[in-house]
Chains A and B, each alone.
Chain A
Amino acid sequence: MRRESLLILSALASEPRHGYAIIKKVAELSADQKQLRPGTLYAALGRFEADGLVEIDREEVVDGRNRRYYRITSSGRRRLVDLVGQRSRELEAIRGQLTVGGLS
């Protein structure tokens, strides 16, 4: 799974969010390193929805436009936990290599 997908799932882990709130949260989580664009965001959300990782929480009409909130499903949460564990192990292994190489 790509980094942006991981960040999107992470952004939904704490509470349901609408598209723009997800973009802001992703920027926050990545320390402003990742500026997600709406096209990429909704393509990912569509895939996640099809795979049962996220679902629509509610819809509101704001300024005459449809604002949709997404929430993570239990399956999505499990996937996120797995991915975070996997990334952590990879980082640990890399850190170990740096130690062996005397770079840290």
Chain B
Amino acid sequence: MRERQTLADARAEKQVRRWLRVYPSSWREHHGDALVDTFLASGTGERRLDRRDKIDILRSSIRVRTHAMATKVARARSHDLLRHLALYFLTVQCAVATVVAWRAVHIGKLFTADLTPLWQSVVVASMASWLAALLAVASGRPRTARAIATTTLLLSAGVGLLRALEADPLPPNATASVFVGALAVIPVATIWCSSSWPTLTGSSMGWLVFGGLLAATGVWTFGFRPHIRIGGELDILVNAWSVGTIGVAVGSLLRRPVALRSETT
């Protein structure tokens, strides 16, 4: 009796698995075994697919394929939009960097702070890096763009802001520095969103962002006053870390995959 039932089960399983071919292979790999189990569990051991089961499988396979296609389209649209945004924000950033570099070279100032030739060349190098990132995005190389833009952001925010704030930590110099620094975060965050590299998630990201925000608040509020130094020359790293983590946090938040909220069934 037991043997007969096992044989019937095997026959039924074979039939169900044959019908499962109508589903996309990735879906079949993920749900196939569980679906077979449910089919067989709902029978008495001699269950065969009836006409209504077959219609149900065909109908649900169409739903699965439609849903997969709709999700793909939504994600592609989202990526396209982000690529355009990255291009736009990088263009703005390049314009800002060009103005800053022009002032650095021709007037010898970063905002209101005087610059030595060495610092002038740092500012110009930063502008060139933004341009390189823009070219990388425009030519469809988001990973390269992200590497260049993130490095530029960290270096220019860390070194540039520190230099400017050290020279004159009070507004308008400090305000301008923070504003330009925050502006630079936007294109970097957008590039992070539009590319497909993995980002930190979960609690590690939370702690990193919390620490970054704390450092940013502390450093930007007190750290750059000449008589209050947190870590001496290491303040550069704290500043770079704080700005960088904000960029990464914004990028990760915006990078969440788009799911279709309206159910199509």
Contacts and interface: CB of A to CB of B under 8 A. Distances in A.
Our verdict on whether A and B bind, yes or no, reads: yes
Interface of A: 1-2, 5, 18-20, 23, 37-47, 50-52, 62-63, 65-68
B71 to A, nearest CB: 7
A12 B30 CA distance: 20
Nearest to B33: A66
A75 to B, nearest CB: 11
B34 A43 contact: no
Interface stretch (B49-57, B88-96, B139-147, B165-173): B49-57
A42 B71 contact: no
> Which residue among B27, B53, B67 has the maximum number of chain A CB atoms within 10 Å of its CB?
B67
B265 A44 contact: yes
A31 to B, nearest CB: 19
A49 B27 CA distance: 12
Given A19-B37, A38-B38, A5 B61 contact: no
Contact of A37 (B52, B61, B67): B52
A19 B259 contact: no
B42 interface: yes
> Which residue among A42, A46, A51 has the maximum number of chain B CB atoms within 10 Å of its CB?
A42
B41 A43 contact: no
A47 B53 contact: no
B41 A19 contact: yes
Nearest to B27: A46
B34 A51 contact: no
B57 A39 contact: yes
Contacts of A62: 37
13 contacts: A5-B265, A18-B37, A20-B37, A39-B57, A42-B38, A43-B63, A46-B27, A50-B67, A52-B259, A65-B33, A65-B36, A66-B33, A68-B37
Given A20-B41, A47-B67, A42 B35 contact: yes
Interface residues of B, number: 31
B240 interface: no
Given A19-B34, A39-B35, 16 more contacts: A5-B265, A18-B41, A20-B37, A20-B38, A23-B38, A37-B52, A38-B35, A40-B60, A43-B60, A45-B31, A47-B67, A51-B261, A63-B40, A66-B37, A67-B41, A68-B37
A87 to B, nearest CB: 15
Contacts of A47: 67, 263, 265
B184 to A, nearest CB: 33
B59 interface: yes
A19 B34 CA distance: 7
Contacts of B30: 46
B64 interface: yes
Contacts of B67: 43, 46-47, 50
B59 A41 contact: no
A68 B53 contact: no
Contacts of B34: 18-19, 42, 66-68
A46 B31 contact: yes
Nearest to A50: B259
Nearest to B65: A43
B39 interface: yes
Contacts of A18: 34, 37-38, 41
